[in-house]
A and B are shown apart, each in its own frame.
Chain A
Amino acid sequence: MVLGLALAGWLSARSRAWALRADSGGRLASLPNYHGWYVGLWIFIPTVLFVFVWNAISPGLVLQSVLGSPAAEGLPAIESARLDALREARDVATGAASSTTNPDALPMIAPFSDALSQYRWIGIVLTLIIAGAAGAWSYLRVKPEFGARTRVERVIMAVLILASLVAVFSTFGILASLIFETFRFFEMVSPIDFLFGTFWSPDPMANPDNPDPTRYGAIPLFWGTLLIGAVIAMIVAIPIGMMSAIYLTQYAHPRFRAWAKPALEILAGVPTVVYGYFAALTVAPMIRDLAMSVGIANASSESALAAGIVMGVMIIPFVSSMADDSIAAVPQAMRDGSLAMGATTSETIKLVLVPAALPGIVGGVMLAISRAIGETMIVVMAASTAANLSANPLDSMTTVTVQIVAMLTGEGSFDHPATLSAFALGFVLFLVTLGLNFVALSVVKRYREAYE
């Protein structure tokens, strides 16, 4: 309805502007379209704001008037029963429920529907008045010399600012709630025990008021995360990613590069669950069988190695596309200079291109690590939930993200320290990835500047 009004304003103002233009025979300061937009926005924005405000306050007003009606005297005195009755009556009145069996609610239905329709009409009338007033006021300003264009521009800017503020504030909101829950957890378990303890086995069934801090040592989780995400995955991803980037930038035929590079980047879009299947169903059993066949008996079928390898495969496109971009960004003159000195292509790559591109490559690798350690699906599916502090990659190990999932979906109540520990884990993980991203981006940025 509001849109319709705005559209009407838009059309009428535009036609008026056209008419003005025809009348004066000259040019308007702004195109007729802008006058249309100006009036349309003037109608749309105040009206929408009003509708929001009205929707927020009208239930209160309705309730007020219902409580003022004579039927309200028959309501039960008990707070909860009274609220129940009111709620059921309202549901019937609005049509959300077809009938009610609550005897207290029955007499309230009629006053409720009266008040509802009364306030609905008030709302509609007010909306129309506001739209009309705003429309009329702005419509009157449609004159040849009126700068509607700059004003519309200003509104557009305001809308854009608003949109970016929404993004910023929601980030802060999420962060704030994370911090809040983390503090609640640290009231129960000291940060020292949490950050430096080496035994992780929260018991969601234990007495929540008296948690055993020795079971909340997060070191094994961070160790597992680092081993899987930063060590094993990178041992896989860095060499393969680098070599494919070098091949694509330096040796591949341009036509091959033209489709191979996007193809590699598509790999980055494969949902991580798919990698998870691959890890759990293919790679993990393969590694276990391989370990058995060379005589390692106690290899776990949920080894850190399997999760890490698949994670590495997932990360390859990130590493290779960052490395590709940074190598390709090294000026051709560097390459020519080296070749003209009599260096071979591979010497040129090793001695000039990779060193020159190194900051960008390092930045890419750090972004990749931060992605790997925040990655959830693969490890949830392929790694175990047993927290082991072990250097043997064939052991089962767990990661921070796996434990966050395990704790949040566990049996503990929401207030239980075992559940809250998920927030503390998330918060620490957030800080780590934030730090990594920050360093990585500043490295990449400095490197970009070096060639401009």
Chain B
Amino acid sequence: MTKIHPNLEAVDPKMNAESVSVYYGDKQAIKDVSIGIPAKYVTAFIGPSGCGKSTFLRALNRMNDTIPSARVEGQIELDGENIYSNSMDVVQLRARVGMVFQKPNPFPKSIYDNIAYGPRIHGIFEQKGDLDGIVENSLKRAGLWEEVKDRLNDPGTALSGGQQQRLCIARAIAVDPEVILMDEPCSALDPIATAKIEELIAELSGRYAIVIVTHSMQQAARVSDRTAFFHLGEIVEYGRTSDIFTNPIEQRTKDYITGRYG
């Protein structure tokens, strides 16, 4: 059972997971996980690799639907609405809950078209001028505008790794999501690019609910307000980041943050 830190202030959760289990075929990857994800905070998922962080993250915007063998049980709510109910439109859900992947994956299109991709498929602009504005705004918020404003027609794949990842963040922002899920967004980047992304996360946190999976405890400590420690498909401990790192309750958490395994 998840240990919740006593001095974790109760906030209305943006997303709320209730006894969620995820299976790949017969294999259970997530075991009865419950957690509330607050708005306007950064929540970090840490834990040894293979413990189910990505799986749980993907359950939050139903990306597991794209894996034929995956099956989700339990309930996940977005603003009180069950995202796995029949009335929930996956397309709408993913527009509201955006995702940034481990490896930057810009489309083989121009920088402009990468950002315009979401707004175009969701039709969230009236005329061409609006789209230009959305592209500019998203790039500005992702801190990429100054670097690319003169070459919006260059392919997105021609950017450096760190720029590509910020492009992917800008692409996710462009549809104005409420939640942004990031799965180890810096694991393919060098320290300078990582620092830029972390800065960006701090800036974005006032606006969106951000969930970040990271294998770096320093990163979790630097960027997140709350931390959940995953182990073997369960959340062992959940609380304010400072509490988790300075004052862990469970032995397993202590072992992990002192680097005894994982």
Q: Known contacts A336-B63, A351-B117: does B91 contact A344 (CB below 8 Å)?
A: yes
List chain B residues, Cβ under 8 A from A253.
68
B260 to chain A, nearest CB (A): 33
| Smallest Cβ-Cβ distance to A357: which chain B residue | B108
Interface residue ranges of B96-117 to A (CB < 8 Å) = 98-99, 101, 103, 105-109, 117
Q: Known contacts A336-B63, A336-B66, A337-B101: does B118 contact A342 (CB below 8 Å)?
A: yes
Q: Is the CB of B94 within 8 A of A339?
A: yes
Q: Is the CB of B66 within 8 A of A341?
A: no
Size category, A interface: 20 to 34
Q: Is the CB of A342 within 8 A of B108?
A: no
In the assembled complex, the Cα of A249 lies from the Cα of B68 at a distance in Å of 14
Judge whether B175 is part of the interface by a CB distance below 8 angstroms. yes
Q: Is the CB of B108 within 8 A of A341?
A: no
Interface residue ranges of A329-369 to B (CB < 8 Å) = 331, 333-344, 347, 351-352, 355-356
Q: How many A-B residue pairs have CB under 8 A?
A: 66
A87 to chain B, nearest CB (A): 72
Q: Is the CB of B105 within 8 A of A356?
A: no
List chain B residues, Cβ under 8 A from A254.
68
Judge whether B172 is part of the interface by a CB distance below 8 angstroms. yes
Q: Is the CB of B175 within 8 A of A338?
A: no
Interface residue ranges of A183-198 to B (CB < 8 Å) = none
B82 to chain A, nearest CB (A): 18
Judge whether B10 is part of the interface by a CB distance below 8 angstroms. no
Q: Is the CB of A341 within 8 A of B95?
A: yes
Q: Is the CB of A333 within 8 A of B94?
A: no
| Smallest Cβ-Cβ distance to B107: which chain A residue | A352
Interface residue ranges of B51-106 to A (CB < 8 Å) = 61, 63, 66, 68, 90-95, 98-99, 101, 103, 105-106
Q: Is the CB of B121 within 8 A of A343?
A: yes
Interface residue ranges of B169-207 to A (CB < 8 Å) = 171-172, 175
Q: Is the CB of A340 within 8 A of B99?
A: yes
Q: Is the CB of B105 within 8 A of A355?
A: no
Q: Known contacts A342-B94, A342-B175: does B122 contact A337 (CB below 8 Å)?
A: no
Contact of A341 among B68, B157, B172 (CB under 8 A): B172
Q: Is the CB of A333 within 8 A of B121?
A: no
List chain A residues, Cβ under 8 A from B94.
339-342
Contact of A336 among B98, B105, B118 (CB under 8 A): B105
List chain B residues, Cβ under 8 A from A338.
107, 117
Chain A binding surface SS class: helix
List chain B residues, Cβ under 8 A from A351.
107, 117, 121
Judge whether A450 is part of the interface by a CB distance below 8 angstroms. yes
Judge whether B15 is part of the interface by a CB distance below 8 angstroms. no
Q: Is the CB of B118 within 8 A of A341?
A: yes
List chain A residues, Cβ under 8 A from B93.
342
Q: 1/0 per position for A416-452, CB-CB distance to B under 8 A? A: 0000000000000000000000000000000000100
Chain B binding surface SS class: helix
B: number of interface residues (CB 8 Å): 28
Q: Is the CB of A340 within 8 A of B117?
A: no
List chain A residues, Cβ under 8 A from B108.
334, 355-356, 450
Q: Is the CB of B103 within 8 A of A333?
A: yes
B159 to chain A, nearest CB (A): 15
Kindly name the residue among B95, B108, B171, B175 whose own CB sees the greatest number of chain A CB atoms within 10 A: B108
In the assembled complex, the Cα of A335 lies from the Cα of B67 at a distance in Å of 12
Q: Is the CB of B101 within 8 A of A333?
A: yes
Judge whether B168 is part of the interface by a CB distance below 8 angstroms. yes
| Smallest Cβ-Cβ distance to B109: which chain A residue | A355
B142 to chain A, nearest CB (A): 15
In the assembled complex, the Cα of A334 lies from the Cα of B101 at a distance in Å of 10
Q: Is the CB of B105 within 8 A of A341?
A: no
Q: Known contacts A336-B66, A355-B109, A450-B108: does B121 contact A347 (CB below 8 Å)?
A: yes
B189 to chain A, nearest CB (A): 15
List chain B residues, Cβ under 8 A from A352.
107
In the assembled complex, the Cα of A341 lies from the Cα of B101 at a distance in Å of 12
Q: Is the CB of B66 within 8 A of A339?
A: yes
Q: Is the CB of B92 within 8 A of A342?
A: yes
List chain B residues, Cβ under 8 A from A337.
101, 105-107, 168, 171
| Smallest Cβ-Cβ distance to B96: which chain A residue | A342
Interface residue ranges of B106-136 to A (CB < 8 Å) = 106-109, 117-118, 121-122
In the assembled complex, the Cα of A296 lies from the Cα of B159 at a distance in Å of 59
Q: Is the CB of A356 within 8 A of B66?
A: no
Contact of B63 among A339, A356, A450 (CB under 8 A): A339
List chain B residues, Cβ under 8 A from A356.
107-108
List chain A residues, Cβ under 8 A from B117.
338, 341, 343, 351
In the assembled complex, the Cα of A333 lies from the Cα of B168 at a distance in Å of 12
In the assembled complex, the Cα of A333 lies from the Cα of B68 at a distance in Å of 16
List chain A residues, Cβ under 8 A from B95.
341-342
- Give A contacts to B, CB under 8 Å: 253-254, 331, 333-344, 347, 351-352, 355-356, 450
Q: Can you list 27 contacts pairing A with B, beta carbon distance less than 8 Å? A: A253-B68, A334-B105, A335-B66, A336-B105, A337-B105, A337-B107, A338-B107, A339-B66, A339-B94, A340-B98, A340-B101, A341-B95, A341-B121, A341-B171, A341-B175, A342-B92, A342-B93, A342-B94, A342-B95, A342-B175, A343-B117, A351-B107, A351-B121, A355-B108, A355-B109, A356-B107, A450-B108
3 residue pairs, one from A and one from B, having the closest CB atoms: A333-B105, A342-B94, A342-B95
